[in-house]
Amino acid sequence: MAENDGAGGARDGANGAFSVAGGQQVAFTGVMMTHELTVEVSNPPLAGTGQQAAHWVRSGLVLAPASLGAGPTWTLWSAPEGGLAVVDGALSVPEGATSYALEPADAVPGDVAADFPALAGDVPLTLEPGASRAELERALTGQLMLTRVDGATLTAATGVQLPGVLDDLYSGDSAKRTFGVTWDNSGHRASFALWAPTAQDVTLLAWPAGASLVDAPRRFPAQRQADGAWTVDGKAADKKLDWDGVRYRYEVRVYVPATGQVETNVVTDPSSVALTTGSTHSVAIDLDDKAWRPQAWEKAPQPKVRPVDQTIYELHVRDFSISDETVPAPLRGTYLAFAQQGSAGMTHLRALARAGMTTVHLLPTFDIATVPEDRAAQRSPGDLSGFAPDSSQQQAAVAAAQATDGFNWGYDPLHWSAPEGSYAVRADGGQRTAEFRTMVGALHQAGLQVVLDQVFNHTAADGQAPTSVLDRVVPGYYHRLDPATGAVQTSTCCSNIATEHALAGKLMVDSVVTWARDYKVDGFRFDLMGHHSRQNMLDVRAALDALTVTKDGVDGSKVYLYGEGWDFGEVAGGALFEQATQGNLGGTGIGTFTDRLRDAVHGGSPVDGSTVFKQGFGTGLYTDPNGLPSSRGNAGTVNDGGDDELADLRHQTDLVELGLAGNLRSFTLVTGAGETKRGDELDYNGQPAGYADSPEEVVTYVDAHDNETLFDLGILKLPVGTPMADRVRMNTVSLATTALAQTPSFWHAGTDLLRSKSLDKNSYDSGDWFNAIDWTGQDNGFARGLPMQADNGDRWELEGPLLADPALKPAPADIAAAQAQALDLLRLRSSTRLFRLGSADLVNAKVSFPLAGPSATPGVITMLIDDTVGPDVDPALKGALVVFNASPSSATQTVPALAGRRFALSPVQQQGADPVVRTTTYDATTGTVTVPPRTVAVLLQK
């Protein structure tokens, strides 16, 4: 590498040298600048100044946006301590900087364009030959800048994004490494590994078990490895130290583009599996240590469930027991509450399991950033029952306590592979691990699988924030950046993670494997899964499939995966990669939530504030108009039962029918307009309604933790004067559309108890007052005051009168009726595999809607599952006839093709809790069934 001792100059594009003041020329191959250098610049603003618009994507290739202009003379600069800047019309290059000449190429190589489609139109610049890998690795540890000069004039200067080149240089070898802490056979000698390829120095800071964290740590210099990792061999570092229980952090000296200088960041381990209370320090524990492996968890068998058989109950750990007086007070809101077998909550879960519920889905239980983990420091707003049902005082008290109340949904990751400490009675080190495993074991003993809600699409923070871990280890790598400015994308809500980058994707895969192998978790739900690539999900699937009972203690191939396949943000439409969205996961067996049936049952999307009063199949569209504006703020459009609503109902009915048939792209039905269409030809807001290749690739639901509860939607959309008994029945009709669908069925915890959040449409930080569940069925949560102003204040004038109406508050008898009807739905679903056929071929052959079309009775769906067609799925039955009557009138349905076939009401309903459904009649002579109002009837032919 040549040195330059000149004072400054400009690149001479003709001869490939830098023209230094005074006429001296210096070769431009990896020039090491030993003195400050300045370059004169033009008066117009420089293209790219203040941005990170260039992308170093391969070791020998940089991409520059066309907006930086054309020209042959480009330079890539690196400054070890920072200091590259355009100041007062001059490029200031600090002592010690390095530069590399770049040459424009004809086109972006095909493999690069495939990996970076958003950059395919950029200008490709190839790095001068001769620079060694070691030189490039050193360059990556400093500030990077790309410049272009025209003659003697600097015309472009921009920062450089580096994830592509880091993956190019390091991902192959680092993919094989285990990061975090690994143990030798003794369980007392640990090795540490941290991936930090841009770091200039890394030191392990260690506090032996029992030492005070206010004392100075022991310091162990880490060794840089060829794959970008920094490692410490505990045995070599200190042969006498027992590493079990050591508290540790990393001191990382690294250049930070956001601050423009080298920072010394002290951070926890991104691969932590254990933490101190408050998550201030990582803790070295061996997950195989018997101290953290409760016998009840070890011995409890994992229930086996086919993906299509999944019936999932979505539950928040704190909600489950925080108000359950049958749980000892110190255990309320914790993992250990699930081990209280006699509690009201566990009694409820076991009843659900006996009826057919297969799985409990837990909202985020990994380590989160928002909730105080010291339970003694958590503060409740107290008893708020003295305020009026439409008062704003309750939400004000909750808002005042949000920082310390112990409640949050938890979609704010801090450490992905360690349990959240606020749900632990003892949160330090391996204690929270043992308590988490106790919870999993208790649910397994109850016959329920456990699904964890995973959030790999964003972190709680980025940059130098105290709760930023990844970005303080490898700045600019883990987060998805704006391609021009380098600003962190936040379309998910927070700091988006770029799991298309190899090591970010590896963190995701490694974490999922940890939970499946080391905690015996049975499934995973991925938050905003559409912000991940299809390849991310295939990588997760492959890693799980590699887990075997013999080698790992679990059969990873049985782990079910599903998530939110929404398409939005900077990744929308495949802008950056093929996304894991609805319709893109065919053949993978990975499920996506379907908004098609959900919106058709509700009446519009719950995220569309204009449809607050719009009705749907399950909320009285056309058949029971509420007389309110169908679009908020549009008084001219009123739900009055007109022809426009009839046409809308027919289309919404089509969507419900398709959802019942698995939302398959290949399923054919007669629409309400009289046309025969495949599922992928049916319209859903301009998209194909049917998108799945197999029924397990769709998760059907009518409410979840997001948005209003099903009961609250009924309060808003059904006519105000609807009797409570009818509201209960409509709750059951709506739930039946997921319970009796040919897909995995997903239930929001408490929906079977008419759960309300007092009309709150976003209760993520609304405290226990609005979120707690009463398993005794005495109170469903309605009329606990106006919901949180931040997300609901613009609707208070609409919600206040509803909350104040005592007729809209269900009595315990109403809640009991809803629960009993919901349990019957579960029994119906689990009683025959006809509701869970399991393949597109079987669904297409056996499921039909014989009365569908323009002459169908409004608000009524008649579904036939004919087991006389194709393979015999249920030897005890010839078929099932299901009538969903969502209308307020009795419905008589005649299916001529069924004349002579003897159907009778299912024994589940004959012996069930609902006397109304038992009045259903069937005439075998004509194939005529009559079903009461607001009722779902299941008839079987033996």
DSSP output for 818-842: HHHHHHHHHHHHHH-GGG---SHHH
Cα 670 from chain centre? 35
Q: Packing angle between helix 724-739 and helix 710-717, nearest 10 degrees?
A: 130
Q: Which amino acid is at 385?
A: S
Residue with tokens 């019309």: 89
pLDDT at 630: 79
Neighbours of 878 (CB within 10 A): 18
Chain centre to alpha carbon of residue 129: 44
Q: Tokens for 366, please give them.
A: 């990994």
Please tell me the predicted confidence (pLDDT) of residue 587. Answer: 96
What is the DSSP pairing of strand 123-127 with strand 143-150? unpaired
Report pLDDT for 22. Answer: 28
pLDDT at residue number 90? 77
Number of C-beta neighbours around residue 221 at 10 A? 12
Per-residue pLDDT at 187: 67
In degrees rounded to 5, what are phi and psi of residue 297?
Answer: -75, -45
Nearest-angstrom CA–CA distance, 618 and 640: 16
Q: In this predicted structure, what is the pLDDT of residue 45?
A: 61
Q: Pick the closest to residue 322 from 312, 304, 335 (CA basis).
A: 335
Q: What is the dihedral of CA 803, 804, 805, 811, to 10 degrees?
A: 70
**Residues whose CB falls within 8 Å of the CB of residue 280, separated by 6 or more in sequence, listed in order:** 213, 268
Query: Which ranges of 723-774 does DSSP label H, i.e. alpha helix?
Result: 724-739, 767-771
The count of residues in the chain is 942
Q: How far apart are the C-alpha atoms of 740 and 832, rounded to whole Å?
A: 11
For the record, the structure tokens of 103 come out as 């040459």
pLDDT per residue over 149-165, tens digit each?
A: 998 889 999 999 999 99
- Residue 63's contacts (CB-CB under 8 Å, 6 or more residues apart) are 54, 55, 57, 108, 112, 116, 119, 122, 123, 124, 125
789: which 2 tokens?
A: 């102003």
- Judge contact between 679 and 690, C-beta under 8 A: yes
Angstrom distance (rounded) from CA 617 to CA 648: 10
Alpha helical stretches, state H, 576-663 = 595-602, 643-660
Instruction: Give the pLDDT of residue 185.
Output: 81
Contact, 617 vs 736, CB < 8 A? no
Asked if 847 and 864 touch (Cβ cutoff 8 Å), the reply is: yes
CA–CA gap between residue 845 and residue 450 (Å, rounded): 33
Edge to edge, the sheet with strand 9-12 lists 9-12, 17-20, 25-27
Q: Give per-residue pLDDT as tens, 248-276.
A: 999 999 999 999 999 999 999 999 999 99
- Residue 256 phi, psi (nearest 5): -120, 110
Residue type, 931: V
Torsional class of 291: left (φ above 0), alpha (ψ -120 to 50), beta (otherwise):
alpha
Amino acid in the structure at residue 560: Y
Note whether 757 and 781 are within 8 A (CB). Answer: yes
Strand partners, 87: 90
Q: Which residues contact residue 673 at a Cβ distance below 8 angstroms, ignoring those fewer than 6 apart? A: 650, 651, 854
Query: 814-842 burial, b for 16+ CB within 10 Å, e for fewer?
Result: bbbbbbebbbbbbbbbbbbbbbbbbbbeb
Helix axes 643-660, 595-602, angle to 10 degrees: 140
Q: Are 529 and 580 in contact (CB under 8 A)?
A: yes
- One-letter amino acid at 634 equals N
pLDDT of residue 194: 98
Question: What is the rounded distance in angstroms from the CA atom of residue 111 to the CA atom of residue 118?
Answer: 13
So what's the pLDDT on residue 130? 84
Which helix (H) or strand (E) segment holds residue 657: the answer is helix 643-660
What is the pairing mode between strands 3-4 and 31-33? parallel
619, 702 contact by CB (below 8 A): no
Cβ–Cβ under 8 Å, residues 642 and 744: no
What is the pLDDT, as a whole number, of residue 633?
63
- Helix H, strand E, coil C: the string for 25-36 is EEECCCEEECCC
The catalytic site residues sit at 527, 564
Distance CA 783, CA 398 (A): 15
Q: How far is CA 346 from CA 326, 336, 364, 447, 553, in A?
A: 10, 11, 20, 11, 27
Q: How far apart are CA 562 and CA 524, in angstroms?
A: 6
Maximal CA-CA distance, the chain: 108
Q: How far is CA 822 from the centre of its chain?
A: 27
Q: State the CB neighbour count (10 A cutoff) for residue 99.
A: 26
Closest by CA position to 554, among listed 314, 846, 300: 300
Label residue 356 left, alpha or beta by phi (over 0 means left) and psi (-120 to 50 means alpha): left
For the chain, residues with pLDDT lower than 50 are 1-43
In angstroms, what CA-CA distances link 534 with 166, 581, 584, 587, 690? 22, 8, 7, 11, 19
The residue written with tokens 């005082």 in the block is 393
* Angle (CA) 595 592 818, round 5°: 60
- The β-bridge partners of 99 are 31, 77
In the chain, the percentage of residues whose pLDDT exceeds 70 is 95
Question: Cβ(241)–Cβ(247) under 8 Å?
Answer: no
Q: Which two tokens stand for residue 114?
A: 């495939």
User: Distance (Å, rounded) from C-alpha 9 to C-alpha 644?
Assistant: 74
Dig out the tokens for 339 from the structure.
């081990």
Helix/strand/coil for 90: strand
Q: Name the residue among 88, 96, 94, 102 with its Cα closest to residue 147.
A: 102
Torsion of CA 100, 103, 109, 113, to 10 degrees: 70
Distance CA 669, CA 853 (A): 9
DSSP 664: B
Q: How far is CA 199 from the centre of its chain?
A: 30
